[in-house]
Structure 1
Amino acid sequence: MTKLIEIQNLGIAYAGQNGWTDVVEGVCFDIARGETFGLVGESGCGKSTVAYRLLGYGAANSRVQAGQVLFEGTDLLQLDARALARLRGNRIALVPQNPTTALSPGMRVGQQIREMIVTHCALPAGISMETRITELFALVGLPDVGRRYPHELSGGQQQRVTIAMAVACNPDLLVLDEPTTGLDVTTQRQIIQLLSDLRSRIGMAMLYVTHDLALLAQIADRIGVMYAGKLVEVASCEQLLTHPAHPYSRGLIASIPTVQHGHGGARGLRGMLRRDQMTAGCKFEPRCDFATAACRLTPQNLIPVTDAQSVACMRWSEVADSQPPAPSPVIALGTKRDTETLMSVDDLSLTYAQSGWFTELLGKKSIPVARDIDLELRCGEIVALVGESGSGKSTIARAISGRLAPVSGTIKVDGEVLAPTLASRSVQQLRQIQYIFQNPDASLNPRRTIRAILERPLHHFGIELQPDTLETALESVGLHAGYLNRYPEQLSGGERQRIAIARALLVNPKLLICDEILSALDVSVQTRIVELLLALKQQHAVAMLFISHDLAVVRQLADKVAVLYRGELMQLVDTDQLFGSPLHPYTEMLLRAAPGLCKDDYVAPPPAMPGSQSTAGTGCPLAGRCPRQVGELCAHSRPPSQKIQNGFIRCHIPIADLTHHTEDSAVARQTHVSGSASASLSFQLRG
């Protein structure tokens, strides 16, 4: 295949207090036309730094020390700003990690796509601008939202807008920097299918930067594994996931939780990436279970071990034939759950379109985004709130935290009714409920050091600062004291999220609201954070409302799962029961969409049937999309709430029929998930 882009011996350094520090060293790989190359590794390993250089971007305090980035033979590092501008958007496009900062808050999203097309390419013959914009929205699974501003869209919807912008000019190379971290599993599948279709239709190549190996398994042809600025393994997707040769690759795969069992039980990576502890030899040596004295002294470079695999490890053959490491101790779920109710939500309804003269002037009605929500959390209990982007998960969390006043309903903590807004709540109530936001870029003050950011809640709530308080908080989330004097812009996305988590934990809350807090973290750090959350639950009976689209993490962490669709709770049940017997058609759709560590066939949910959709909230919100819809009944009659063991389900189909259907499809579902797991386990069974 013809090479579209080739990275040769790339070295990049950042300026610091002690001079220039190498953050990327000797990186070499190429991408052929129509090929998808995945780049994985822990936060801070240099993935995004390499990716942005493919578009000629670099931080103000960075410089290229060595190497070339050849695009069709032209070195992008030698081009001036005007020449790069001609390539960006048209030939090489970017889907950034954070859509909140990528989209202009003062422009409607349709206008932003229009600007992209006008600036970088011409419209296809015979197609108007409005038609093209509508086509792009449909391409990424959105209705025509061109008149909306970014803040009127959910995080997942914002990310789909940035993808629509990136593919507007049908680029030759698409650079994707963690593009699906904020998306639910069904939308992830839609995006992966979209990208695969674009690749086959226009021959578009992709560099896909992510920490999600399960997602890469669905789309990548080859994968490069980075650690501390160096490539430690490059292999075909199948070869890497079934027979990883580098100890670091093995640890990454062992850290991945699975939908059917949560965490697989094998020990993943120990320690954390510490550049200040690295030796002159192998950079992974301080964390490697196979390291010897020679590893500490001898630098490791990529060497071919098969036709489709290269590895930077002198002991790769011994590693490949070894037994997997002993399992880490797993904290038992539910051992500290109390029968006492900590928080209850009763008959909660929410909307963003409030009544008043401005609403009447625009002719808008107050349309609920969530209605009749009933939730209960006991001390030490973790309830996961799952559902697709835009279903109302974060809206409910905002209401519980006091950031959005409900239209109706009550919220109680320790039996006391909470005031609807933050301003009306007491200091003690504010301390009891801590919110960890999905987007750390918007929740961390860019002008404050990490030390000041962490000290602020302690001062606000009058908590005495002990000498080792901040250091201990950082260590608990996989960081160290060296971060205290840095600013948020000097940290990777995953590192910023860990700071946000540490800040929330400092005040010892009773209830943590975790809004997609793991979506920006690599799998090894996810494991550390999950262990931390389980320890808080075990030792201090901290309750958590855990919002997530990662069903594997939910299986690992939650006691109960609440399934939300278009603002209505469709099912609430114990975690093991939900994953073992999903019952509700929508829950089953979510489980089938969850990616695994092998390529599989995904059957998209059926399109909405004309005239069968629920209107004005009179019927089931899933009507028109449900594969088991009961004629017009679902479209015009709201489904009843049926009690099941330890929960309820909202559906017209009787429980007995739902149970019978679930049993019939259990074998097919088990084949789907066990096939996903087999790839990750096969390497452990060798030798």
Structure 2
Amino acid sequence: MTKLIEIQNLGIAYAGHTGWTDVVEGVCFDIARGETFGLVGESGCGKSTVAYRLLGYGAANSRVQTGQVLFEGTDLLTLDARSLAKLRGNRIALVPQNPTTALSPGMRVGQQIREMILTHRALPDGRSMEHRIIELFALVGLPDVSRRYPHELSGGQQQRVTIAMAVACNPDLLVLDEPTTGLDVTTQRQIIQLLSDLRSRIGMAMLYVTHDLALLAQIADRIGVMYAGKLVEVAPCEQLLTHPAHPYSRGLIASIPSVQHGHNGARGLRGMLRRDQMAEGCKFEPRCDFATPACRSTPQHLIRVADAQSVACMHWSDVAAAQPPTPAPVIALGKKKQAQTLLSVDNLSLSYAQSGWFTEWLGKKAVPIARDIDLKLHSGEIVALVGESGSGKSTIARAISGRLAPVSGSISVDGQVLAPTLAGRSVQQLKQIQYIFQNPDASLNPRRNIQAILQRPLQHFGMELKPDTLETVLESVGLHAGYLNRYPEQLSGGERQRVAIARALLVNPKLLICDEILSALDVSVQTRIVELLLALKEQHRVAMLFISHDLAVVRQLADKVAVLYRGELMQMVDTDALFTSPLHPYTEMLLHAAPGLCKDDYVPQPPAMPGSQSLAGKGCPLAGRCPRQLGALCAESSPPSQKTQSGFIRCHIPVAELSPQTEESQKRTGSGANLSPVELRLPPEKSLQQRDQTRLN
């Protein structure tokens, strides 16, 4: 295939207190037209630094030491600003990791896409601008949200807007920097299918930067593995995932949890990346199980070991021939004690633009977000809240933390009813509940260094700062004392998230609200954080409301799972029971959408459009989308709550008939019962348009 872009011996350095530090060294790879190249590695390894150089971007305190970035034979590193501006967005487009900072908060999202198209004069012949914008929204599974501002969309919806903007000009190369970290599994699947279709239709090449190897397995042709600024292995996707030849690749794969078994029990990576402790030879030597004395002094370079597979390791043959990693011993926790209820959420209903003179003056009605939410957490219990983007997970968390006043219902901690908002809560109540936000860019003060950021909650709550307290909490999240003098902008996205987690742990809370806290972290750090959270649960009886779209991590961590759809709890069940017998049709959809390490595990599905029923309607919110719908009954009647062995389920179909499907249930549900959970029945186009107009007005 013809090479579209080629990176040759790329070396990049950053300026620091002690001079220039090499962060990328001798990186070489190429991407052909229509090819998807995945770039993986732990947080801080240089993935994003390399990716942004493909668009000619670089931090003010960085410089290119060596190498070239050739796009159709032209070195992008030598182009002036005007020439680069013609390429960016038109020939080479970017989907950034954080849509919150990528979208202008003062512009409607439709206007931002319009600006991209007009800048590059990329409006197809015979189409109006409005039609093209609506077409792009539909391409990424959104209704017409042109008149919405970014803050009026969920994080997943914002990310889909950035993807629509990136593909607006049909670019030759799409650079994706962790584009699906904030998306639920069904939306992830939709986006991956969208990108695959674009690649086949217009021959678009992609550089896909991510820490999610399971996601790459569904779309990548080849994968490059980076460690400490160097490529240590490049191989075809299937070859790398089944027969890794570098110890680091092997450790990454062993760290990946699965939906089927939670964590595979294999030993992953030990230690953490410490650039100040790396050897002169192989940079991975301090953490390598195959290292010998020669590795410490002998630099390693990529050498071809098989067709299209290269590795930078002198012991690659031993690694390739080694047996799979030995499962770690299972720790017996003993019989659980009867725990008291810590958090009680009773009949909670939430909405935005609530009633009042200002709302009436604007002529707007309250938009219901969640209703009739009943939730209990016991001390030392982890309850996962799962559901698609926009289902209301973060809104419920905001109400519990006091950042959104409920329309109705109550929230209690330790038997005491909490005030609706933060202003009415005592200092002790504020200390008991700590919130870890999904986006560390918005939750860390950019003007304070990490030491000041961590000291702030201790000062606020009048707690003593003991010696080594900050160093200890940083080490618990995979960082070290050297980070204390750095500022957030000097950290990668994953490192910033670890600082946010450390800050919440410092005040010893009783309840942690974890809002997608692992989405920006690579699998090796995820494992460390999961172990830390489990230790807090067992040793200090910390309860957690764990919001996540990563079902594999949920199985590994949670005691119970609450499944939320369009603001209503559809199911509450013990974790093991949910994964072995999901029962609810919507839960089945989520499980079938979760990616695996085998490409065969990925089954394309229609776009995950919301159901036709509004939240305030009478019917089941899943009506119009459910593969087992009982006709008018589901569309017109609210589903009853049915008890199960370890929780409840809200569905018209009796529990006995839900899983496995019996002949009687197939007769009862008609032809829809023969559909697989991913063959979604979409409502008529007219009802979709009516529903979307109702939601957006």
Same fold by TM-score greater than 0.5: yes
Shift of residue 632, structure 1, vs aligned partner: 1.0
Structure 1 residues 150-549: aligned runs within 5 Å: 150-331=150-331, 338-549=338-549
Paired residue type of 1:153: L
1:541 to 1:666, Cα distance in 2 relative to 1, 3 A: farther
User: Which 10-residue stretch deviates more, 83-92 or 116-125?
Assistant: 116-125
> Structure 2 vs 1, CA of residues 83 and 511 (structure 1 numbering), >3 Å: closer, same or farther?
same
- TM-score relative to the length of structure 1: 0.95
Partner AA of 2:532 in structure 1: L
Are residues 500 and 282 of structure 1, via their aligned partners in 2, closer, same or farther at CA, if it must alter by over 3 Å?
A: same
Q: Which amino acid aligns with 1:69?
A: V
Aligned twin of 2:126: 126
Quick one: structure 1 residues 334 and 493, their matched pair in 2 at CA, closer, same or farther if it must change by over 3 Å? farther
Task: Give how far 1:613 is off.
Answer: 4.2
The alignment partner of 2:182 has SS state of: coil
Letter in 1 for 2:294: A
Provide, for residues 111-154 of structure 1, a one-character-per-residue CA deviation record: whole Å limited to 9, x for no partner. Answer: 11111111123210111111111001110011111111111111
Q: Relative to 1, partners in 2 of residues 1:338 and 1:276: Cα closer, same or farther, differing over 3 Å?
A: farther
Residue of structure 2 equivalent to 1:97: 97
Q: What amino acid sits opposite 1:437 in the alignment?
A: F
Structure-2 change in CA distance of 1:172 and 1:461 (3 Å): same
For residue 323 of structure 1, give the secondary structure of its aligned residue in structure 2. Answer: coil
Q: CA deviation at 1:514?
A: 0.1
Supply the distance in 2 between the matched residues of 1:387 and 1:537 (Cα, whole angstroms). 24
Aligned letter for 2:76? L
RMSD of aligned residue pairs (Cα, Å): 1.9
Quote the Cα distance in structure 1 between the aligned partners of 2:53 and 2:609: 46
* Counterpart check, 1:569 vs 2:569: yes
Q: Partners in 2 of 1:209 and 1:395 — Cα distance?
A: 29
Mapped contact 1:384–1:545 kept (Cα < 8 A): yes
Q: For the residues of structure 2 that align with 1:467 and 1:614, how far apart are their CA atoms? A: 55
Q: Distance in 1 between matches of 2:394 and 2:458?
A: 26
User: For structure 1, which segment, 215-224 or 332-341, has the greater mean C-alpha deviation from structure 2 after superposition?
Assistant: 332-341
CA distance in 1, matches of 2:610, 2:263: 42
1:160-190 Cα offsets, whole Å, 9 max, x none, are 0000000000000000000000000000000
Is contact 1:186-1:590 (8 Å) kept? yes
User: Counterpart amino acid of 2:631?
Assistant: G
- Structure 2: distance between partners of 1:501 and 1:332: 27
Cα distance in 2 for residues equivalent to 1:172 and 1:336: 57
Distance 1:616 1:431 in 2: 35
Q: Number of paired residues?
A: 669
Asked whether the 8 Å contact 2:611–2:622 carries over to 1, the reply is: no
- Kept in 1: contact 2:432–2:509 (CA 8 A): yes
For residue 342 of structure 2, give the secondary structure of its aligned residue in structure 1: strand
Cα distance in 2, alignment partners of residues 646 and 631 from structure 1:
29
Q: Which residue of structure 2 lines up, in the alignment, with residue 136 of structure 1?
A: 136
Structure 2 gap ranges (5+): 664-673, 680-697
Counterparts in 2 of 1:334 and 1:234: CA distance versus 1, 3 Å: farther
Cα–Cα, structure 1 residues 336 and 485, in superposed 2: closer, same or farther, change >3 Å? farther
Provide the residue aligned with 1:556 in structure 2. Answer: 556
* Alignment check: 8 A CA contact 1:607 1:624 kept: no
Residue 357 of structure 1: CA displacement? 2.8
How far did 1:346 drift?
Answer: 0.3
User: Aligned in 2, Cα 1:48/1:338: closer, same or farther, shift over 3 Å?
Assistant: farther
Give 1:668 deviation, angstroms. Answer: 12
Question: 1:589 maps to what in 2?
Answer: 589
Contact 1:615 1:635 in 2 (8 A): no
Q: Retained in 2: the 8 A contact 1:10–1:24?
A: yes
CA displacement, residues 596-621 of structure 1 (integer Å, 9 cap, x when unaligned): 00112645556799996457421111
- The DSSP-based 3-state class of the residue aligned with 1:368 is strand
Map Cα deviations across residues 576-612 of structure 1 (whole Å, 9 max, x no partner): 0000000000000000000000112645556799996
Alignment partner of 1:68: what SS?
Answer: strand
Q: CA deviation at 1:667?
A: 14
Deviation, 1:365, is 1.9
Contact 2:300 2:313 in 1 (8 A): yes
Tell me the secondary structure at the aligned position of residue 351 of structure 1: strand
Aligned residue type for 2:597: L
Which residue does 1:116 correspond to in 2?
Answer: 116
Instruction: Kindly state the Cα deviation for residue 332 of structure 1 after the two structures are TM-superposed.
Output: 5.4
In structure 1, C-alpha distance between the alignment counterparts of 2:10 and 2:156, rounded to whole Å? 33
Output aligned runs, 1:9-88, within 5 Å. Answer: 9-88=9-88
Distance in structure 2 (CA, Å) of the matches to 1:610 and 1:546: 23
Q: Is the 8 A contact 1:336 1:541 kept in 2?
A: no
Residue identity opposite 1:94 in structure 2: L
- The aligned amino acid for 1:165 is M
Most deviating of 441-450 and 328-337: 328-337
**CA distances 1:188-218 after superposition (whole Å, capped 9, x unpaired):** 0000000000000000000000000000000
| Secondary structure in 2 matching 1:660 | coil
Matching residue's letter, 1:432: Q
Q: What is the Cα deviation at residue 366 of structure 1? A: 1.6
Structure 1 Cα separation of the partners of residues 48 and 332 of structure 2? 36
Which residue of structure 2 lines up, in the alignment, with residue 681 of structure 1? none
DSSP-derived class of the 2:291 partner: coil
Pair 132,533 (structure 1): closer, same or farther in 2 beyond 3 Å: same
- Kindly indicate whether the alpha-carbon contact (under 8 Å) linking 1:334 and 1:559 is maintained by their aligned counterparts in 2: no
Larger displacement relative to structure 2 (554-563 or 325-334):
325-334
Comparing 332-341 with 38-47, which one deviates more in the overlay?
332-341
Q: In 2 relative to 1, CA 337–508 (structure 1 residues): closer, same or farther, beyond 3 Å?
A: farther
Q: Which amino acid aligns with 1:358?
A: F
In the alignment, the residues of structure 1 paired with residue 356 and residue 678 of structure 2 have an alpha-carbon distance, to the nearest angstrom, of 52
**Residue 402 to residue 533, structure 1, CA distance change in 2 (3 Å):** same
Change (3 A) 1:568 1:667: closer
Unaligned runs of 5+ in 1: 670-687
Deviations 1:20-73 (A, max 9, x none): 000000000000000000000000000000000000000000000000000000
Alpha-carbon spacing, 1:137–1:611, altered in 2? closer, same or farther (3 Å)? closer
What is the rounded CA distance, in whole Å, between the counterparts of 2:507 and 2:329 in structure 1? 27
The letter of the residue matching 1:27 is V
- Secondary structure at the aligned position of 1:369 is classed as strand
**Which amino acid is the alignment partner of residue 101 of structure 1?**
T
